[in-house]
């Protein structure tokens, strides 16, 4: 199976590639080539996801898409997110459906629920409540994926990633951390799952007092190999030592605690 990975030069894309290479042929798509590679079983295509022509070229001959590309950050404005987090996902979904791509794995984020407070939080049955413009873009992407799954039969597997840093930095991320190995195994599950239509799961390893119930992923065959408490950063901060700007009271952490960037005024 040949997989197109968007955002392949980013931190997550670079971290998961070694785990996917043994099982899939990888086409790496980004604005710039990855710093490492390509390795055996990989090819590189440089292009812009907002360009229909670039996307059509990148999709030629692939069986599935793993869509990682996005822009993010505490100060990300709505206008800065439009091409990468809105237009790009629509172009990619539309061209994937037109090209007969079999399935689409979408890297979403826990930030689609980030505006909820952690106290008493239960993700089951919760409406999306993004914490900032990054999370809002991910919620849009999830809705777009559902539309193309239901209207065009594209097989979609959405993974709401918790925290994918190399190590666990604080008490909040301890409850939602994922290793690169476990995240890659979830993506691989979506790429090969029999009978896939449209699924939404959480990208988390084995975490103490987990913030998200990942029963659906487990039912589909996911088996996390890594434990958050065994991967603490040297400067790990427990809940009580987290400063307010890290948003310890919020599901979305610092994104929910930071001021929301204002919308740009349109010229008259």
User: Catalytic amino acids?
Assistant: 134
CB 112 within 8 A of CB 138: yes
Give the span between the Cα atoms of 161 and 109, in whole angstroms: 5
Residues 6+ apart with CB under 8 A from 56: 95, 99
In sequence order, the 6+-apart residues with CB closer than 8 A to the CB of 52 are 91, 95
Q: What are phi and psi of 103, to 5 degrees?
A: -155, 160
φ, ψ (nearest 5 deg) of residue 215 = -60, -35
Length of the chain counted residue by residue:
268
CB atoms within 10 A of CB 266: 5
The interaxial angle of helices 180-192 and 11-20, nearest 10 deg, is 60
| Spatial CB neighbours of 260, under 8 Å, sequence gap ≥ 6 | 132, 133
């Amino acid at each position: 199976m040949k997989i197109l990975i968007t955002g392949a030069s980013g931190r997550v894309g670079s971290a998961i590639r070694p785990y996917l290479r043994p099982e899939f042929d990888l086409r790496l798509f980004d604005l710039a080539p990855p710093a490492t590679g390509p390795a055996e079983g990989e090819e590189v295509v440089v292009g812009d996801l907002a360009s229909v022509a670039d996307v059509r070229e990148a999709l030629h001959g692939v069986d599935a898409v793993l869509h990682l590309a996005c822009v993010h950050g505490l100060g990300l404005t709505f206008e800065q997110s439009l091409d990468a987090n809105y237009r790009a996902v629509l172009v990619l979904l539309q061209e994937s459906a037109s090209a007969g791509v079999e399935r689409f794995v979408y890297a979403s984020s826990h930030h689609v629920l980030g505006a909820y407070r952690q106290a008493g939080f239960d993700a089951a049955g919760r409406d999306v409540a993004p914490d900032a413009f990054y999370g809002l873009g991910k919620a849009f992407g999830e809705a777009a994926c559902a539309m193309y799954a239901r209207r065009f039969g594209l097989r979609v597997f959405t993974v709401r990633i918790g925290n994918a840093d190399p190590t666990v930095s604080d008490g909040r991320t301890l409850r939602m951390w994922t290793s690169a190995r476990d995240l890659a195994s979830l993506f691989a599950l979506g790429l090969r799952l029999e009978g896939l239509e449209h699924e939404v799961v959480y990208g988390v390893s084995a975490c103490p007092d987990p913030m998200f119930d990942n029963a659906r992923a487990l039912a589909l065959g996911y088996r996390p190999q890594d434990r958050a408490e065994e991967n603490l950063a040297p400067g790990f901060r427990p809940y009580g030592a987290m400063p307010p700007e890290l948003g310890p009271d919020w599901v979305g952490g610092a994104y929910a605690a930071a001021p929301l960037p204002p919308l740009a005024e349109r010229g008259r």
